[in-house]
Amino acid sequence: MRGETAAAAAERNPPPRSTPLLGWVLVSAIHYHDARLRAAARLSGLHLDMIELTDTFGFRELQPGSPSESFTRHTLFSGVPWQTVDRRVMVKRLHEQLAALRPRVVCINGWSSGGCIASLIWCLRAGVPVILMSESAEHDERRRWWKEMIKRRTVGLCSAALVGGITHRDYLVKLGFPGERVFDGYDVVDNAHFESGAAAARLAAPQRRAELGLPPRYFLACSRFEAKKNLGRLLDAYAAYLKAAGTLGWALVVVGDGPLRGDLEAQCKRLGLNGHVMFPGFKGYEELPAYYGLAEAFVHASTTEQWGLVVNEAMAAGLPVVVSRRCGCAAELVIEGVNGFTVDPFDVAALADAMARVAADSCHRAAMGRFSREIVGRWSPDRFARNLAAAADAALRSGCPTPNMIDRLVLWVLKNR
């Protein structure tokens, strides 16, 4: 049409979708997924249909953003909390959606939720290979032999895997999955978003500190207020650090919220930390980089964490980090004494000591922050994109396994539990 813009022409005649066509089934698509799939579309030409069970996510700071051109989103239960969805209705709609899309490869997040198992059942019936997205490591929780047997069978029905890092790969291999079909890079964030946002906050530091009500120097923690995040021990460790540091001690800012907020506030009062600890509440994706950028160091002390994406965010923002060894990211992202320190999350004294070390005048925090950016730069959405494409190729080459009667029984039980 004469005078038609290139953009209008592209919209009227969209380019053919790339192959292999991928489907990804998960509870909710959030901003992390958008960054990863933008890279996949740009680098690998992969178009992905995202089937989310609901667009209503439980944590406001992770609420899905605006629609993205990097993937097509199909929401099965819009505006409905996942916990209230009838399982049989979910399975029926999910199978109908997969049948309508007919992807050549399907990605599933883990092996325990009903949506993942229902997707695996459909794929096995349709002869579609599955990519397992896994963040589980052997140390995450107490492992029971009978659960591991069930898991081994379920994992064996997948054709490739995309995992967080080495500890997650090792666990899959221990479960009998072929190591040559396991790829890493699942747990990445939009590093540029946090790096640029932190830099902008630093350039206008006095103004931004005043706007946000932040102290001159502070440790930053960012998490949901739940037991596994170990915030109670973090407060104990901070109290010990502050007692030793005296008037030169930094403040502690804990971004987030959750059911333990009242308990944590009461603990601060008992420890005499009022005026030293701030709880600014949930902060959205656009707000977070400023909190990272104005901090001196980041602390993440979870007793168990499959990965810990907030550590990626802090490192992209150029911060030294203190990270629990129980976090899946620790083995990949933290080099002891180079960009931070790892600690036993149950050892309050060790946590306090690590905070003192990173706050000491002799600590080269600027250099540590540069190393943080360099290290996490190797764990970018581009890495996710390349390895997702490699996993798709491996899954197609391997093909879809044929389940036996025991496999089918195990899947039936998992689907209906």
The residue-averaged pLDDT of 7-28 equals 55
**In terms of domains, do 332 and 397 share one?**
no
**In terms of domains, do 41 and 183 share one?**
yes
Above 90 in pLDDT, residue 335? Answer: yes
SS3 track for 46-103: CCEEEEEEECCCCCHHHCCCCCCCCEEEEEEECCCCHHHCCHHHHHHHHHHHHHHHCC
**In terms of domains, do 266 and 339 share one?**
yes
What's the mean per-residue pLDDT of the chain?
89
**In terms of domains, do 196 and 338 share one?**
yes
**In terms of domains, do 115 and 131 share one?**
yes
Above 90 in pLDDT, residue 54? Answer: no
Above 50 in pLDDT, residue 16? Answer: no
C-alpha distances out from residue 35 to 38, 88, 191, 280, 314, Å: 5, 32, 9, 26, 17
**In terms of domains, do 37 and 78 share one?**
yes
This prediction has a pTM of 0.91
Q: What's the pLDDT tens digit per position in 356-402?
A: 999 999 999 999 999 999 999 999 999 999 999 999 999 999 999 99
**In terms of domains, do 290 and 366 share one?**
yes
Q: What's the pLDDT tens digit per position in 165-220?
A: 999 999 999 999 999 999 999 999 999 999 999 999 999 999 999 999 999 999 99
Number of domains in the chain: 2
- Whole-number pLDDT of residue 114: 64
**Overall size of the chain counted in residues:** 417
CATH of the domain at 272: 3.40.50.2000
* Distance separating alpha carbons of residues 345 and 305, to the nearest angstrom: 11
Q: Is residue 155 part of a domain?
A: yes
**In terms of domains, do 143 and 198 share one?**
no
Q: Is residue 1 part of a domain?
A: no
Kindly report the number of other CB atoms within 10 A of residue 143's CB atom: 12
**In terms of domains, do 265 and 339 share one?**
yes
Above 90 in pLDDT, residue 415? Answer: no
**In terms of domains, do 221 and 344 share one?**
yes
Contact indicator for 135, 328 with CB cutoff of 8 Å: yes
Instruction: Give 7's pLDDT tier (boundaries 50, 70, 90).
Output: very low
Question: How far is the first Cα of the chain from the last one, in angstroms, to the nearest whole number?
Answer: 57
**In terms of domains, do 231 and 291 share one?**
yes
- Domain encompassing residue 277: 191-377
Q: Is residue 104 part of a domain?
A: yes
Cβ within 8 Å of residue 256, ≥6 positions away: 61, 221, 222, 223, 224, 225, 281, 282
Q: Is residue 2 part of a domain?
A: no
- Going 259 to 261 to 266 to 270, the CA torsion angle's sign is positive
